[in-house]
Amino acid sequence: MVLLSFANPCFALQIGEDKASAVRIQLTDSKDESRDDISDELDFSDAMLQTAIGKVDAALTAFEQISDADVAKSYTKAMLLLNNGKTKEAAVLLEQICNSPDAPLDTKKYLATAYLHNRQPEAAKRTINEYLTDHGDDAYAIYLRGVAEVHLDDLESASETFQLAGYSEDEAQHIQLAMMQVPVDAQQRLLTVRPPDMRTTTQPSSLGRAQLNRPFNFTVLMGTEYDSNVPLRPFFSGLGSNFKHSDARFVLAASGDLKVVDRETVNAGLLAGVYNTYQYNLTQFNIGDYMGGGYTNVLLADGWLSSLRYEFHSTLVNEVQFSNDHRLTPSVTRLQENGHTTGYFEYNTIDNRAPKLIDAQDQSADIYRVGATQALYTFGGQGRLYGGYQYANAFAQGTDFDHQSNMITGRIERPMAKGWIWDFDTRYSFDDYSNANSLDFEERARKDRRVEVRTGLQKNFKLPVSFRLDYTYIDNSSNSANLFGVRFYDYERHVISTQLIFSTR
């Protein structure tokens, strides 16, 4: 499946209205009257030569000498502009060519393409509809109309249009998801927006008598979140991905465990969890995560605790299967008077159903992680300081996603006045991929650097109710880029959330 078949100028070059106006003036002013057809032809040949050897600016300079009356040469210049990301100048020139009786048949189709790059989806849809009046069987033009409808958030019409272009219903949905930049790792997204007691990171367990006397624990969470970048789009992109949709969502989640073995030095039990988000507008990004598993904790020699935890997760995006994954995590914890130290290993196998255009983009993988955390108890045991390091090695089905990852984490929990608790945590990840990325024009191996910062306040009322207010910022930078400098994996994100939590913990 190919999302773009022409030129692929995958970014919109931003220029001021003064420059666009200057282009219009230049196009309407008469050229040097002393010029003749031979001069035009020589300059056209020079422009083509400069284009062939990659000197775009020199080619455009040569084109400026050619008479605007030559529609064919002006059309070639417009294609050169479009192909090199100068989409506003291309739109101006194509608009002029459209008014000529000698305009090439595809002029309006590529004018619509320029409008899409310039973030004018209404103009793009109007223009492509005019083109389709006489060329109703042009599948690529129909596809462009679908792209415009996605930009206009008319997703129902977009799905129908993509099917008219020859795609199946499932393929049409995959195109929309791919265009809207469904997150590469849905689990990373879930871990970011969950509050601490809903996360699935490795936590040391206790065999304290207070827990032993209660055979079960459960937590129910509900809240609202504002997200500045729901599709996680790149910072700077164009046709097919220049979205920056913000939205709010309702979150409803529950988790619990049931002890089935409860002895002085050993306990074991079952785990279950449900996590659902319901977007208010962008419902195609509703997430459902369903977890089941089990755990066991064994108190070894004095002060040593061993644990084994298994989780199975099934993740859906818009009620369509996104991934299934299994996680097995053995760990050992040294319990101390003023804190604890934990070392762990995790095996995670993921069957990922994310949209892919080629086999290299298959994200299914086996991931091996090893790490350690250190906790210190502060403020008379009421506060916490955490630090941690994790190394991961991923062996993926698609060559794009084989990588090694290093992550450093830190967290502070501090009690405040009137029962409030303030927490701040941060993660810094650097991911180095093993193979040339299929989207990278220079065939470079991908390198990502991600910073995540989260701060929050929690108020504990009479048990079992608490309230949280959180802010999260994520900045992901990547070197992978196409010919025009579009970095597919660059994005930033702001999340503000409030949660009401009912918990027996």
In the chain, where the domains are located: 17-178, 184-235+256-272+291-503
Query: Can you give the three-state secondary structure of 271-324, one letter per residue?
Result: EEEEEEEEECCCHHHCEEEEEEEEEEEEECCCCEEEEEEEEEEEEEECCEEEEE
What pLDDT does 327 receive?
Answer: 94
Residue 35: Cβ within 10 Å count: 13
Chain centroid to CA 464: 35
Query: Can you give the three-state secondary structure of 110-167, one letter per residue?
Result: HHHHHHHHCCCHHHHHHHHHHHHHHCCCCHHHHHHHHHHHHHCCCHHHHHHHHHHCCC
Amino acid at 29: D
Measured CA to CA in angstroms, residue 454 lies from 180, 366, 386, 410, 451 at distances of 25, 28, 14, 11, 10
How far apart, in Å, do the first and last CA atoms of the chain sit? 49
Kindly give, in sequence order, each residue whose CB lies less than 8 Å from that of residue 469, ignoring residues fewer than 6 positions away: 456, 457, 497, 498
Measured CA to CA in angstroms, residue 123 lies from 32, 63, 65, 129, 130 at distances of 34, 27, 30, 10, 11
Residue 208: Cβ within 10 Å count: 8
Q: Omega of the bond prior to 231 within 30 degrees of 0, cis? A: no
Look at the chain and count its residues: 505
Strands 247-262 and 216-227: antiparallel
Return the residue matching tokens 């192909």.
83
For the stretch 412-452, pLDDT in tens is 999 888 889 999 999 999 999 999 988 787 889 999 999 99
Q: Is 89 exposed, middle or buried (0-12, 13-18, 19+ CB in 10 A)?
A: buried
Amino acid at 142: I
Beta bridge partners of 495: 227, 472
What pLDDT does 39 receive?
Answer: 63
Tell me the pLDDT of the chain (505 aa) as tens digits: 333 333 333 322 222 333 333 333 333 344 444 445 566 566 666 666 666 656 667 777 766 666 666 677 778 777 777 777 778 888 888 888 888 887 888 888 889 888 888 878 899 999 999 999 888 888 888 888 988 888 787 878 888 888 888 887 777 766 666 565 544 455 555 555 555 444 444 444 444 434 446 788 889 999 999 998 887 765 544 444 445 578 899 999 999 999 999 888 899 999 999 999 999 988 888 889 999 999 999 998 878 999 999 999 999 888 888 889 999 999 999 988 889 999 999 999 999 887 777 788 888 999 999 999 999 988 777 788 999 999 999 999 999 899 999 999 999 999 888 889 999 999 999 999 999 988 787 889 999 999 999 999 999 887 789 999 999 999 999 888 776 676 778 888 899 999 999 988 7
Strands 247-262 and 266-279: antiparallel
Rounded to whole angstroms, how far apart are CA atoms 352 and 367? 13
What pLDDT does 176 receive?
Answer: 64
What pLDDT does 96 receive?
Answer: 85
Rounded to whole angstroms, how far apart are CA atoms 92 and 107? 12
Number of H helices and E strands in the chain, helices first, is 12, 14
What pLDDT does 26 receive?
Answer: 39
CB 361 within 8 A of CB 438: yes
Question: What does residue 459 show for φ and ψ, rounded to 5 degrees?
Answer: -115, 120
Q: Is 343 exposed, middle or buried (0-12, 13-18, 19+ CB in 10 A)?
A: middle
Third-level CATH fold of 184-235+256-272+291-503: Porin (2.40.160)
What pLDDT does 89 receive?
Answer: 82
- Helix 56-64 vs helix 37-52: angle between axes, to the nearest 10 degrees? 170
Q: Is 216 exposed, middle or buried (0-12, 13-18, 19+ CB in 10 A)?
A: exposed
What pLDDT does 248 receive?
Answer: 94
- Tell me: domain 17-178, CATH 1.25.40.10, correct? yes
CB 411 within 8 A of CB 424: yes
Closest CA to 376 of 432, 439, 334: 334
Q: What mean pLDDT is reported for the chain?
A: 79
CB 294 within 8 A of CB 269: yes
Is 184-235+256-272+291-503 in the same CATH topology as 17-178?
Answer: no
Closest CA to 450 of 472, 473, 477, 423: 477
For the stretch 86-130, pLDDT in tens is 788 888 888 888 888 878 888 888 898 888 888 788 999 999 999
Residue 418: Cβ within 10 Å count: 5
